[in-house]
Amino acid sequence: MSPLDFTGRCVVITGAGRGIGRGYAMELGRRGASVVINDISAEPAHAVAEEINSAGGVARAIVADLTDPDAGAAIVAQSLEHFGALDAVIVNASINSKRKAFPELSVDDLERMLAVNVFGAWRLLQAAWPHLAATGRGRILLTTSQAGLYGMPRLAEYATAKAALIGLMRTLAHEGASVGIKVNAIAPAATTRLTEETVTDPAALDMLRAMQPPHLVAPVAALLVHESCPVTGETYLAGGAHVSRAFTGETQGLTLPADGFTTEAVLQRWDAVRAETDYRVPRDVSETGDLKQKAEVMRLLKASGIVN
Ligand SMILES: NC(=O)c1ccc[n+]([C@@H]2O[C@H](COP(=O)([O-])OP(=O)(O)OC[C@H]3O[C@@H](n4cnc5c(N)ncnc54)[C@H](O)[C@@H]3O)[C@@H](O)[C@H]2O)c1
């Protein structure tokens, strides 16, 4: 197999009928993957599958609404039936935010967003997990966003759902390590229906389309779901022919004697607590907080069988 070839590998992509997901499907189809095009919309899903197949690739559309509790299992079952194995899953489908200020958003708005992004991803990945594990080199790519990583006004329900996927990604990366599953997240930037609904100035839209076409996200996604993927538990921003890594850093912080750990003492050293010098990027909870104290806490938790 050449370094980034996918021949014989089955990759499921949700929301692959349009936009960024379609870009992933075309890229992976071109690289030889058997691509499962899931979308809630039948016509675009079949069109993408047809485009890949008529270019000599291998693709199949599976029309399913990820908010349907049975969709995840059905997508996995049909992919296995058709392609015999499941090697990677790209969880990409989402709906747009209502773009309202926080006080105007309802719990229903949040539930609608969580239904596709979080519950949809959860059910699909639970159904896929044993099959990905069976390959010994399963790959998962979850889709977060800059709003989920950094926050953006008027996107509270969207940011909440996208940030939830970071916790899921980090945890699945730890759990997947023993069975060869690598799990990462992508925060894409591309001009798609999601952008087109919000940018009203046609000239600005044209410039955005030229600058950030969906196909410029796909090279990064392909790398992250290939069996040679070098990383797990990480988040990458990709768009407009740019890629960078976003990570959670932790300052060195401050430890004081217990009898001196008062609000006043902390306030006095607040600049040191916040200082972005010599920060660290913990790989897991054992590398957080006061490292000496954490090592002792971890030793006690391990001895009690609470952590491995
Ligand atoms: N476009 C951006 O700049 C941008 C930025 C940050 C994050 N994202 C994320 O990237 C992903 C792709 O977004 P896009 O811009 O290509 O959007 P898009 O609207 O062009 O494509 C999303 C696709 O998901 C499908 N979909 C929606 N709900 C579904 C459901 N319940 N079941 C199955 N399919 C469903 C839609 O039919 C559509 O084809 C999303 O997760 C989005 O949140 C996009």
Instruction: Reply yes or no on whether the pLDDT at 79 is more than 80.
Output: yes
pLDDT cut 90: percent of the chain above it: 92
User: How many Å lie between the centroid of ligand 1 and the Cα of residue 161?
Assistant: 13
With a cut of 80, say whether residue 250 has pLDDT above it: yes
Q: Give me the pLDDT at residue 196, please.
A: 84
- pLDDT level of residue 267 (50, 70, 90 thresholds): very high
pLDDT at 1 over 60: no
Ligand 1 near 149 CB (within 6 A): no
- State the average pLDDT over residues 58-69: 98
- Contact assessment for residue 165 and residue 120, using Cβ atoms and an 8 Å cutoff: no
C-alpha of residue 252 to centroid of ligand 1, in Å: 38
CA-CA distances (angstroms) from residue 179 to 4, 50, 148, 151? 22, 34, 28, 34
pLDDT of residue 195: 84
Ligand 1 site, residue 216, Cβ cutoff 6 A: no
Two tokens, residue 123: 């059910």
Any residues with CB less than 8 A from the CB of 226 and at least 6 apart, and which?
Answer: 4, 6, 139
For residues 90-117, give the mean pLDDT.
97
Q: Which tens digits make up the pLDDT trace of 19-49? A: 999 999 999 999 999 999 999 999 999 999 9
* 189-243 confidence digits (pLDDT tens): 999 998 888 888 999 999 999 999 999 999 999 999 999 999 999 999 999 999 9
Q: What is the pLDDT confidence band of residue 305, given thresholds at 50, 70 and 90? A: confident
Pocket test for ligand 1, best of 24, 192, 220, 224 (most atoms within 8 A of CB): 192
195 in contact with ligand 1, CB cutoff 6 A: yes
Q: Which of 12, 13, 14, 18 to mutate to test the pocket of ligand 1 (most atoms within 8 A of CB)?
A: 18
Assess whether the C-beta atom of 66 lies below 6 angstroms from ligand 1. Answer: yes
Residues acting as catalytic residues:
158
Q: Which domains, from first to last, does the chain contain?
A: 10-246 (3.40.50.720), 258-303 (no CATH)
Q: At 276, list the tokens.
A: 């972005």
Q: What percent of the chain has pLDDT over 70?
A: 99
Distance 265 CA to ligand 1 centre (A): 48
User: Mean pLDDT across the chain, nearest whole number?
Assistant: 96
Taking only the tens place, the pLDDT of each residue in 143-165 is 999 999 999 999 999 999 999 99
Which ligand 1 atom is at minimum distance from the Cα of 195? 1
- What pLDDT shows up at residue 262? 98
- Note the pLDDT of residue 2: 62
Q: Residue 145: which residues within 8 A CB-CB, separation 6 or more?
A: 158, 159, 162, 187, 188
